[in-house]
Amino acid sequence: MDILKKIQDKFSGEITEASFEGANIVLYTDNENFFKNGEGRIKQVVDEIKKRVELRADEKILLSQEKTEKKIKEIVPVDAEVTEIIFDVQRSIVIIEAKKPGLVIGKQGSILEEVRQATLWTPQIQRSPAIKSKITESIREVLYANNNYRRRFLNSIGKKIYADWDPSKKEGWIRLVFLGGARQVGRSCILLQTPNSNIMLDCGIDPAVGTGNQDKFPQLDVPEFDMAKLDAVIISHAHLDHIGLLPYLYKMGYKGPVYMTTPSRDLGALLALDFIGVAYKQAEKPLFSSTDIKEMVKHSICLNFNEVTDVTPDVRLTFYNSGHVLGSAMVHLNIGNGAHNLLYTADYKYVKTRLLDPAVTTFPRLESVITESTYGSKNDILPPRAVSEDQIIEAIKKTIERGGKVLIPELGLGRAQESMLVIEDAIKSGRLPNIPVYIDGMIWDINAIHTAYPDFLSTRVRSQIFQDKNPFSSEIFSRVGSPQERKLVFEGGPCVVLATSGMLMGGASVEYLKEFASNEKNSILFVCYQGVGSLGRQIQDGLKSTRMSSDGREETVAINLEVHTIAGFSAHPGRNEILSFFNNLRPKPKRIIVNHGEVSKSMDLASALYKLNRVETNVPRIMESIRLR
Ligand code: ZN
């Protein structure tokens, strides 16, 4: 069935082009009157075919960019504070970026409609980020470049989805092949196969394994995997153990779509660029280049939470909030027109944090669940968050009172923003004195991406950002961006420093450690997981001195500063959290598959889940497959 032709026939002559944008249908018209008044007839067709259809103006009749800018400035009230007007020329869309998006939209969209009628461009609205982000700007350049590649690419996806489209078909087998992240943490990668589809869920590396070791990458040499047949990649979130190999897939010639949330796209590009930088610093050849990251961005299809989209003729995807990091999603797949529903939780958090709401537990339908098990064993009971927050505040307070400085090594994407919120709140409420808080390394860029997507944050932080009380741009935080600025921190008075890397494996945090370590008035606070063998782990375990190089000379540094470990600050669910997630999960699944955990933790969790839920549980090994239907 050629769905596009069928639609085009309904509007004899009015439509110059009908094309797909992924699973959506877009019609272009060069008839100005039809563009302005054709809404009713479009709605009839939507009701008939039950698919999203959007009408846009053919580029031939669009007002020039220059005149459009002028018109927008006339129509939109000054109070809206328009910061930028971006033209997506390939798709006849104009993006209006403003500090107060509500004022651009107007009552029931009246102002947007006025812009549409006056310019014939289709206006979209975007909130101006409170902090500028270079990465978001260069991603835009890639997406809105003046060429037709992206429009053709999105059209080809739709063609594939609809080529074999038959909503009545419910038969067919479904299987999963575990390519990585099974009985281990790292290199998450699962292949989902049906008679019609080959879909990859996550495409990570194992950051703890050195380059040159094949175990750093998923097992892509299994007979089931054929890149030429891969229809789509779905990424749960931007951590390298879930997205790190994706640019490499494009380098190897993959040209298909990658589905993720918009923040995951931006964060993923940022972390992948940083990954290249780290490789160069260690005098290693990076796995991929910035060109490959660009390819990844060019082929990305971004979805909001709860937005349903067809990915292949027989698989429909919806992302749900997973509460783990900004933009992190649980992946819900409706397979074979409702024959089977699979939830891949990926990494999640099931308590409310300051930054994010807890993971969603209610789904339209559910037969199988794949769950992570990072802290899945009996002993993995995490202390309550309030206790952990008090520990952080107390440790800072004591250190400041005796005239010391506090170092908090942080992961690029993880708890840094959560720590910032805790400290900001403590200073605002008077629990901590008004001390300077310095932010060094990639954290600042990641803050910028957070402020650009308030809709993905907790209700509380979102409303703070909407009310111009953005906690991340609070004046208590200062960015440290150069060695000179760093020197001022070294020479200055009591303060708190948040710096990457999280395990003291290179990066800014090591520079601060070198300065702070010998003075017993100072403190170091570990808020994230410290890998075995890392400098952070050794200090946790009581290391008293270490060799460090400065200005090319090796020297011994005594470690006299006070060491604190905050256990309850993890972005992963503790054992009780996982069990209560399953307790509240609706509907009840018939099968639970456990992955993303050390083997003993995964096994321990699987047996507990079996006892509590009386459903089949599996703990697959890498290369093993499971048939779901
Ligand atoms: Zn993660």
All domains in the chain, ordered by first residue: 3-58 (3.30.300.230), 62-128 (3.30.300.20), 148-164+171-379+572-627 (3.60.15.10), 385-569 (3.40.50.10890)
Residue 479 tokens read as 């960015």
Find the farthest-apart pair of alpha carbons in the chain and give their distance in angstroms, rounded.
81
| 571 CA to centre of ligand 1 in angstroms | 8
| 328 CA to centre of ligand 1 in angstroms | 8
| 330 CA to centre of ligand 1 in angstroms | 12
| 199 CA to centre of ligand 1 in angstroms | 20
| 62 CA to centre of ligand 1 in angstroms | 44
Instruction: Tell me the C-alpha to C-alpha distance, in Å, between residue 536 and each of 239, 513, 554, 574.
Output: 20, 10, 19, 22
| 263 CA to centre of ligand 1 in angstroms | 14
pLDDT score, position 146: 64
Q: Provide the phi-psi class of 356: left if phi over 0, else alpha when psi is between -120 and 50, else beta.
A: beta
pLDDT score, position 431: 96
- In 347-443, at which residue ranges do the beta strands (DSSP E only) sit? 368-371, 406-409, 437-440
| 201 CA to centre of ligand 1 in angstroms | 14
| 324 CA to centre of ligand 1 in angstroms | 7
| 284 CA to centre of ligand 1 in angstroms | 25
Helix (H, G, I), strand (E, B) or coil at 23: coil
pLDDT score, position 165: 65
User: To the nearest 5 percent, what fractions of the chain are helix, strand and coil?
Assistant: 40, 20, 40
DSSP 439: E
Question: To 5 degrees, how large is the angle CA 616–CA 620–CA 623?
Answer: 145
pLDDT score, position 529: 77
| 239 CA to centre of ligand 1 in angstroms | 5
Integer Rg of the chain from CA: 26
| 346 CA to centre of ligand 1 in angstroms | 8
| 238 CA to centre of ligand 1 in angstroms | 7
User: Rounded distance, CA 242 to CA 271, Å?
Assistant: 12
Residue numbers in the chain where pLDDT is lower than 70: 1, 146, 164-167
pLDDT score, position 415: 83
Element (H, E) at 420: helix 416-428
Q: Which residues surround ligand 1, an ion (CB under 5 A)?
A: 239, 347
pLDDT score, position 1: 54
- Model pTM above 0.85: yes
User: Rounded distance, CA 472 to CA 5, Å?
Assistant: 50
